[in-house]
Amino acid sequence: MHDKTLSELAAGLKQREFSSQELTRHFLDRIARHNETLNAFVTVTEEHAMAAAQAADARLSGGDGGPLTGIPLAQKDIFCTLGIKTSCGSKMLDNFPAPYDATVVAKLKDAGTVLLGKLNMDEFAMGSSNETSYYGTVKNPWRLDCVPGGSSGGSAAAVAAGLTPAATGTDTGGSIRQPAAFCGITGLKPTYGRVSRWGMIAFASSLDQGGPMARSAEDCALMLGAMAGFDEKDSTSVNQPVPDYTATLNQDLAGLKVGLPKEFFEGELDSGVAQALEQAIAEYKKMGVAFKEISLPNIGLSVPAYYVIAPSECSSNLARYDGVRYGYRCQDPKDLEDLYLRTRGEGFGAEVKRRILIGTYALSAGYYDAYYLKAQKIRRLIADDFKRALEEVDVLLGPTTPTPAFGIGEKTGDPIAMYLSDIFTIAVNLAGLPGMSLPVGFADGKPVGMQLIGNYFDEARLLNVAHRYQQATDWHRRLPEQFA
């Protein structure tokens, strides 16, 4: 059953080919068998899952329930879950059972889904490889000596290995799309404000956005339909109706205009990635899609702008972890200053400390105008580039990452090289646009992802473009041999 898509599992549940309890037990058994190898789950909620599955079966037997009723899935451990540890991959929150459900968690629970557990991630979502987690590195199911990407690496690895049919992720600078590419699954970062951030532990508040990670675009459409919507508890939530994302999946692509940003295909793009993209473009041309080269002249400034804005916001957001109210507290502090210093020094990992220091410096008196304000002006230029491009074409297409997954430990000693693995994804967050990654082949035996970028709140079009490609290919259906 782990090789089926969400829609196939939903159909099986509806036709009573299997029960939610049988389905949930199947995935719990796979987690028990494989998680020690992958390290994808931080917490497994077996008792909670079986109770939810029993309730879902009762709803389905009574003819009640929607398309996700009885479907097991897992949450990235950045979403607060009532009574269940929500660690954000950090020692700082290792002892924190959330007192409420995040809006995303509540919405998926209302849709009848079954929570299998909480997924490993880079600490406070700061990382591109899932090597900064307090709970250890997650392995890539396709190559166990390679990273799964980050920060949603646990989500991507769990879906790719069939430990869960779908998962949630969050994307601040590519943290859904990059691990989806590295692990050969489909991941969607919605428009900023499309999915509520309430109860999603903050990294960089103007960039963070939750989204679905699953095998296919159709699966992501089902999940996004349940996750999206206005939330009065979130001041960044946009009050806009949620369409039925599955209704337009099969629309004809003839006449669609797709832009190829020339900056995405220049420089050090891996030859295997380039070849896989060429084949995907050829497949789209068979469907009547027209391609046009476009330019995003300020895209090269996205990485430096991001690594001023994101750390600045993180230094502000993470000030709340002081050992006073909740989370980790140092032993036997001498006074209040000692409590703050030792709690934060012992509770945060190296990458989190690095970003707090950078952000605090960028926001300090005398440097705010030179760094943070200038980065925000560059952000506006980048957004304007996308605006002009999307007036000429319907969708942008390019690589998700410059290379396939890299080796564990390969970039840990060089933070700049690590940051550059997100070079194609960061600009989308700076502009607040929707973007997604889908598998389009392999390079050196490792998955390759293709990125689609759309206009604001145009997720339905992205899902349609991705779905039609997946109807013509089977890259999204392939499983790593060890986990087949």
Catalytic site positions: 76, 151, 175
Using alpha carbons only, give the angle 427, 184, 4 rounded to the nearest 5 degrees: 125
**373 Cβ contact list (under 8 Å, min separation 6):** none
Two tokens, residue 97: 């059972």
H/E stretch holding 41:
strand 41-44
Q: How far is CA 459 from CA 187, 231, 312, in A?
A: 12, 19, 29
Two tokens, residue 346: 């012992």
409 secondary structure, DSSP code: T
Two tokens, residue 189: 């970062």
Longest dimension (CA), the chain: 71
Q: Are 233 and 198 contacting, i.e. CB atoms less than 8 angstroms apart?
A: yes
What b/e string do you get for 69-86 counting C-beta neighbours within 10 Å, with b at 16 or more?
A: bbbbbbbbbbbbbbebbb
CA-closest candidate to residue 130, choices 178, 83, 79: 178
Q: How far is CA 425 from CA 10, 218, 240, 302, in A?
A: 32, 22, 25, 9
Tell the burial category of 235 from Cβ atoms under 10 Å away from its Cβ (0-12, 13-18, 19+).
exposed
Q: Report helix, strand or coil for 137.
A: coil
User: Using CA atoms, how far apart are residues 383 and 427, in angstroms rounded to an integer?
Assistant: 8
Tell the burial category of 292 from Cβ atoms under 10 Å away from its Cβ (0-12, 13-18, 19+).
exposed
371 secondary structure, DSSP code: I
373 secondary structure, DSSP code: I
Q: How far is CA 187 from CA 57, 149, 171, 228, 482, in A?
A: 28, 12, 10, 15, 22
Q: Report helix, strand or coil for 388.
A: helix
The one-letter amino acid at 396:
L
As separate numbers, helices (DSSP H) first and strands (DSSP E) second, the chain gives: 15, 11
Helices 302-317/374-392 angle, 10° precision: 120
CA-closest candidate to residue 214, choices 29, 437, 460: 437
